Each structure stands twice: as structure tokens, then as C-alpha cells.
Amino acid sequence: MSTLEIRDLHVSVETKEGPKPILRGVDLTIASGETHAIMGPNGSGKSTLAYSLAGHPKYQITSGTVTLDGEDLLSLSVDERARAGMFLAMQYPVEVPGVSVANFLRTAKTAIDGEAPPLRTWVKEVRGAMDALRMDSTFAERSVNEGFSGGEKKRHEILQMELLKPKFAILDETDSGLDVDALRVVSEGVNRVRSGGEVGVLLITHYTRILRYITPDFVHVFVDGRVAEEGGPELAERLENEGYDRFLPSGSISA
């Protein structure tokens, strides 16, 4: 059983005009086996939370704490956070020309576990995960994300999650750009990982459509860098019907 605790987290990003506060005091606790959906309008700080937890250098932690099983996550480097059990599926996965998917996956697994997985069992595991995600086996020999469609990139992100087996997976708008078939396949992959009860999931999304396939335990509404409201799956349904206007007195979405 693992726990990720975020306490009074404040984060700024550097702009041409100087540091701009984005997160303004976020409190959140995620335990193994739980799925937390983070919803909110554009500019509310959802992706900032994701990249801050992963250790992106663009984001400056100005105050607050984040601990993983009591260990200070913010003191760790990006690779140390990954080895501690953090995983980020990016909204816009980058291309890595010249590095095959097969080599990338095995190198990542070796780095996280501290030893290379046995080749025979590893190949079988990779093939099984690819089959479940309906990925052609030839993808293993292609360069990471190079020439991949949006759906293929997102399936590759979930493939990584299935194989690397993190303690906590942050999915930053994994549903972005997916058609209904790809969304269903990706959601099935997330549900397979969740079914073991060992992975905590932080699912960031604008829309409720992915929540028709992945039922969250908790829903948190982000507005202006803070958690404005919390609830269960019924809160997502209310947002679907009412939108975010009730959280914004002016009726405008913050930048």
C-alpha cells in the first residue's frame, strides 16, 4: 500500500514578464488502487500539477510538500522519481528518432528495476501487452513515436505504464485526440492496470467521455490553481450538464 500526499502546493512558471503563479495551494492524497480524476477549464493548473510532480524544470515549486510513502518527492531528480514509482503519460508524447520502441521499453525497465528483465519472459510480456492494446508487433521496431498517429502515441504511453508497473500513474489528457475506438482501447488498458489494486491513478481531463470507460473513485475540480470542489463520479456528471461557469463568477475562464 503506497500513498502520495500533496500539501499546500504552490507552483510558478517563468514567463517573459517574470514568474507567474499557477498552483495556489493544492491539497490531495492518493492511495494505491484509487483513481482520482482532475477536471477543470483551460489554464486551471491541471497539467502544471502533472509536470510538477514529474519534475519538469520549467515549473518552480515555491512552497508546499509532496511525499511518496513519507519520502520527500520534490528533493528527487526526474529519474529518481521514476524509480520511486512515479509515471507520467504526456498529453503530447515526444518523438525519439533512432531509438526503437523495443529498446526504449527494455532500457526503461532496466533503469527502474536496477537490472535487465530476462529476455525471454520480457519479450513475451511485451507482445502480450501490445496485443491487448491492439498494437501491431512491427511497432516494436519503429522509432519511439516517430510517425505515430495520435492514437498510436497514446497506446504506446499505456503500454509503458503496463510494463513499467509504477506506484502512481499520472495521465495528462490521455483522451486528447482519440477517436471512440482508440479511446475504448486505451481505457481498457488503464483498467487492466487498475484491476491489480496496486497502482494509484491521477487522471487529468477536460471532458467526461473517458470517465464513461474509467470510473473514478474521486473527482476534483481545479479552478484558478486550486481545488474548488471534490466529490465522486456524480460530480463529473454534474460538470457534464452544467460546465464550469458556476465556479467562475465572471463566467470567463482564467488564462
Q: What is the pLDDT of residues 243-255, one digit of tens each?
A: 888 887 654 444 3
Whether residue 30 is predicted with pLDDT greater than 60 in this model: the reply is yes
Q: What is the DSSP letter of 17?
A: T
pLDDT of residue 250: 58
Query: CA angle 101-103-107, nearest 5°?
Result: 120
Plot region of 25 (φ>0 → left; ψ -120 to 50 → alpha; else → beta): left
The H-or-E segment that residue 50 falls in is helix 46-54
pLDDT of residue 127: 95
Per-residue pLDDT tens digits for 65-103: 999 999 999 999 999 999 999 999 988 899 999 999 999
* Mean pLDDT value across residues 16-20: 89
For the chain, how are helix, strand and coil distributed in percent, rounded to 5? 40, 30, 30
- Order of strands across the sheet with 86-89? 86-89, 168-172, 200-204, 35-39, 218-223, 226-231
Bridge-based pairing state of the strands 200-204 and 35-39: parallel
What confidence tier does 125 reach under pLDDT thresholds 50, 70, 90?
Answer: very high
